[in-house]
Amino acid sequence: MNGRLEIGVDIGGTFTDVVARVPGKQIRFFKLPTTRSDPSQAVVAALKHMKSEWSLQPSDLTKFAHGTTIATNAVLERKGAALGIITTKGFRDILEIGRQSRRQMYDVVLEPQPPVFLAPRRLRQEVSERVSPSGEVLTKLDEAGLRDAIDKLVRDGAKSVAIVFLFSFANPSHEQQAKELIAAWYPDLSVSISSEVDPHFREYERTVATAFDAYVKPTVANYLKRLEDSLQEEAVDVPLQVMQSRGGLTASEVARMRPIRLFLSGPAGGVVGGRIAGASADVDNIITIDIGGTSADIALISKRKPLIRPEGVIGDYAVRVAMVDVNTIGSGGGSIARVEGGSLRVGPQSAGSEPGPACYGRGGSQATVCDASIVLGYLDPDYFAGGSFKLNPALAHSIVRTNIAEPLGISVEKAALGIHRVLNAQMAEGIRAVSVRQGIDQREFSLMPLGGAGGLHATALASELNMTKVVIPRIPGVLAAAGLLAAPIEHEVSAAFSSPLAQLSIEALKQSLQSLDDSASRLMHAERVNSNDVTVSYFADLCFIGQSYALEVSFDPNTPNLADRLYEDFLAAHDRIYGHAVRVPAKVVALRTVHQAAGSDTIPEMRLPLSDQPIEIGKRPIWFNGFDQTVETRVLNRAALPSGFSFSGPAILQQSDTTTLVEPGWDGVIDSASNVILSRG
């Protein structure tokens, strides 16, 4: 093997997926269990596997891209750094007061709603300083007070510090000054300042973003540093690239500086994977749904671009950092079904993997969606996860009977169909929620199921949502890792820029963009990217004067009558997302530049060699929604289906990483890129 070799490694909670690609030749992949104590071991293991099984050498590597859940896990497991916060005098409690509203409206015995766990009150200190809304310094930074505050935090155990001063988005000088002073006093202390993490108005939201950044920074830095070191030991001579939440890669040393951008590192790879699989099928608009054991992740790709949301959710907390718009709902293959007050309820509780669904035979005593799938004949108990794990159909039947069918007075099969129908209704609402948020009509999109359980629900969900096309990629199980190979390197820099459109100064706007571009270019430079390969796009956040949430509009700064263009595009966006727009004055609140390089639209090698086994594995009786009896259904071997092969539902497509249920009424064809295209008249 010589020449170029690209590797994508996606480390999830349970499995690490590795995809290796020799451009123009082939793609290979494998899965191995994630080492929870040190996920970076999986990377070394991947390199070993590459050498021993595939005879590939580290010196062949031209790209090494990585998706990681390290930042998210640090939050979910509360394993971030001991954090201190320094604020403007009078404002140390902003984190704890939050926005004062509660999430559950009928709750009376309450829990704190903001992420107070990040830094209890004793680890929040104040210093005297003040900047006005227009950025004018009113009170100079009290350096001696800062020294006292930081000394006290360090004495009390803080290993990382977040600095949030009022109006630092209008004038960051005090935060910069504080950062430099602390770096001189405590060179090893990790520091995040709000004007760099989230330079936008609303002090609570900015505090939360900055505090989360500081909280995970030491953990992420250690992890990535260790990974960089082990790659060096293995003689890998390409920079380690890390996936960011917006769906773009960055060099590891840049990622370490701004870890808050890594919360959706893993799912973002999946969304990019969905984009390239869609592109290979010549589909521009896609809704991906990745259904796992406990939850389902829903994302949108519009005109071949993953849709971004300006604020994401980490655990229970809203965090103002841009990320691919992935809507996670608590419905999955392990969701528990139960009867309550004569109603069938499904989820949000899940049986997880221990004890797991009853059919796992590990003592699970609740009926789950997976058990229902066994009852209905959707899953082959002997071929679950490629046959690596045998399921017990008798346990599935008996639990669905006793827990669901008998209390409702219906047959076991009706009960199992019911579990699927209720779950599908929930997931369909989840898909609608993302669609509404982004102002798109889901009927114009194709559905792409991912993950182990996605294929079982795809046609039912599509029918429910009046979608007419489903695309099943060739390798749905490792698409996130493949996405890492196609993602662009990306740097996004933004700043507050406040101006009514009527008084927009093009000069001031261009000046602000120039400074944003300078920052982005510096970051790009660290990536060893030729500046000619960089594409730059600009965005403005606008709102009506009086409104306080903004919409993003893309623009070209050289457009004649720019203010008019921005206004018209803003009205159109408002109408698309909110259903109406009135011609009243609007203003710009922020500007953003996005620099991208070296992404690709497709990975042609994803078309795997054809298996020479028989196309049809057999037939089995299946229960479908709307039928009173089983339907004898063909089971097809996905790996053996050639391009151009067509079939009609009902059918089951079996492959090692997933099973696809094709309901009656759907027709399928294998396209030239080995995708299965299902469509409905």
Partner 1 sequence: MQRKNHGLDPITVEVVRNKLDGIANEMQQTLLRSSFSPIVKEGLDASASLFTVDGETLAQACAIPVHLGTLIPVVAKIIEIYPVVQMKAGDAFIMNEPYLGGTHLPDIAVVAPIVTKDGRVVALSAAMSHHQDMGGMSPGSVPTNAVEIFQEGLRIPPLQFRKDGQYNETLVALIRQNVRIPDTVMGDLNAQLAACNVGARRVGELVDSLGHNLVGSIFANLLQRSEELTRSALRSIPEGTYSYIDYNDNDGIELDKRIKFEVAVTIKDGNFHVDFTGSSPQVRGPFNAVPSGALAAACFAIRAVTDPNIPTNAGCFRPISLELPRGSIVNPIEPAAVNARTATIKRMAGCILGALRPAVPERVPADSSGEMLAVMFGGLRPSGAPFVVGELIAGGSGAGINSDGVDVIETDVSNCMNLPAEAMEMEAPIRVHQIALWSGSGGPGKQRGGLGIVKEYEVLDGEIRFTHRGERHMCAAAGSNGGGPGAMAVSQIFRTNGQIEDIPSKAMAVLQKGDRVVITTAGGGGNGDPKLRDRRLADADLKDEKVLRSDVRA
For binding to partner 1 (CB under 8 A), which residues are involved? 90-94, 96-97, 99-113, 120-122, 132-133, 166-167, 201-204, 340-345, 407-410, 414, 417-418, 421-422, 425-426, 428-429, 432-433, 436-437, 544, 546-549, 574, 577-580, 582, 584
Return the number of the residue (381 or 407) whose C-beta is nearest partner 1: 407
Return the number of the residue (187 or 341) whose C-beta is nearest partner 1: 341
Question: Do 448 and 286 form a contact (C-beta atoms < 8 A)?
Answer: yes
Tell me how far, at minimum, the Cβ of 299 lies from partner 1, in Å.
18
Return the number of the residue (1 or 436) whose C-beta is nearest partner 1: 436
Return the number of the residue (283 or 287) whose C-beta is nearest partner 1: 287
Residue 20 tokens, joined: 């290796």
Give the distance, in angstroms, between the CA of residue 588 and the centroid of all CA atoms in the same chain. Answer: 28
Residue 675 tokens, joined: 């995708």
Q: What is the 3-state secondary structure (H, E, C) of 284-316?
A: CCEEEEEECCCCEEEEEEECCEECEECCEEECC
Return the number of the residue (523 or 591) whose C-beta is nearest partner 1: 591
Tell me how far, at minimum, the Cβ of 582 lies from partner 1, in Å.
6
Question: How far is residue 213 from each of residues 73, 263, 412, measured CA to CA in Å?
Answer: 13, 10, 50
Residue 155's CB is within 10 A of a number of other CB atoms, namely: 8
Q: Which residues 6+ apart lie within 8 Å of 282 measured at CB?
A: none
d(CA 439, CA 580): 11
Return the number of the residue (207 or 675) whose C-beta is nearest partner 1: 207
Return the number of the residue (426 or 655) whose C-beta is nearest partner 1: 426
Return the number of the residue (166 or 254) whose C-beta is nearest partner 1: 166
Return the number of the residue (412 or 484) whose C-beta is nearest partner 1: 412
Tell me how far, at minimum, the Cβ of 130 lies from partner 1, in Å.
8
Tell me how far, at minimum, the Cβ of 631 lies from partner 1, in Å.
19
Tell me how far, at minimum, the Cβ of 114 lies from partner 1, in Å.
10
Tell me how far, at minimum, the Cβ of 429 lies from partner 1, in Å.
3
Return the number of the residue (28 or 89) whose C-beta is nearest partner 1: 89
Give the distance, in angstroms, between the CA of residue 629 and the centroid of all CA atoms in the same chain. Answer: 40
Pairing label, strands 586-597, 446-450: unpaired
DSSP 62-100: EEEEEEE-HHHHHHHTT-S--EEEEEETT-TTHHHHTT-
In terms of Cβ atoms closer than 10 Å to its own Cβ (0-12, 13-18, 19+), residue 130 is middle
Return the number of the residue (414 or 565) whose C-beta is nearest partner 1: 414
Tell me how far, at minimum, the Cβ of 308 lies from partner 1, in Å.
16
**Three-class secondary structure of residue 138 per DSSP:** strand
Cα maximum dimension of the chain: 80
Residue 486 tokens, joined: 């196609």
d(CA 355, CA 366): 10
Q: What is the 3-state secondary structure (H, E, C) of 430-457?
A: HHHHHHHHHCCCHHHCEEEEEHHHHHHH
Tell me how far, at minimum, the Cβ of 190 lies from partner 1, in Å.
23
Provide the sign of the torsion angle of the four alpha carbons 59, 24, 451, 661, taken in this order.
negative
Question: Do 176 and 191 form a contact (C-beta atoms < 8 A)?
Answer: no
Tell me how far, at minimum, the Cβ of 163 lies from partner 1, in Å.
16
Of the candidates 486, 484, 419, the residue with the CA atom closest to the CA atom of residue 453? 419
Question: Do 219 and 79 form a contact (C-beta atoms < 8 A)?
Answer: yes
Helix axes 173-185, 143-155, angle to 10 degrees: 50
Pairing label, strands 124-127, 83-88: parallel
Q: Which residues 6+ apart lie within 8 Å of 663 measured at CB?
A: 459, 460, 463, 624, 625, 649, 650
d(CA 419, CA 396): 13
Return the number of the residue (99 or 522) whose C-beta is nearest partner 1: 99
Tell me how far, at minimum, the Cβ of 468 lies from partner 1, in Å.
16
d(CA 295, CA 312): 17
Return the number of the residue (139 or 535) whose C-beta is nearest partner 1: 139
Of the candidates 170, 102, 100, 161, the residue with the CA atom closest to the CA atom of residue 127? 161
d(CA 38, CA 656): 28
Question: How far is residue 356 from each of residues 16, 294, 375, 387, measured CA to CA in Å?
Answer: 21, 10, 16, 17
Tell me how far, at minimum, the Cβ of 153 lies from partner 1, in Å.
13
d(CA 467, CA 680): 8
Return the number of the residue (346 or 478) whose C-beta is nearest partner 1: 346
d(CA 571, CA 580): 8
Tell me how far, at minimum, the Cβ of 54 lies from partner 1, in Å.
47
Return the number of the residue (428 or 540) whose C-beta is nearest partner 1: 428
Tell me how far, at minimum, the Cβ of 225 lies from partner 1, in Å.
34
Of the candidates 630, 633, 619, 626, the residue with the CA atom closest to the CA atom of residue 662? 633
Tell me how far, at minimum, the Cβ of 107 lies from partner 1, in Å.
7
Return the number of the residue (109 or 144) whose C-beta is nearest partner 1: 109
Question: Do 369 and 337 form a contact (C-beta atoms < 8 A)?
Answer: yes
Return the number of the residue (120 or 363) whose C-beta is nearest partner 1: 120
Tell me how far, at minimum, the Cβ of 578 lies from partner 1, in Å.
3
Tell me how far, at minimum, the Cβ of 92 lies from partner 1, in Å.
7
Residue 501 tokens, joined: 């459109």
Tell me how far, at minimum, the Cβ of 331 lies from partner 1, in Å.
10
Length of the chain: 681
Q: Counting runs of H as helices and runs of E as strands, what totals does the chain give? A: 17, 36
**Three-class secondary structure of residue 364 per DSSP:** coil
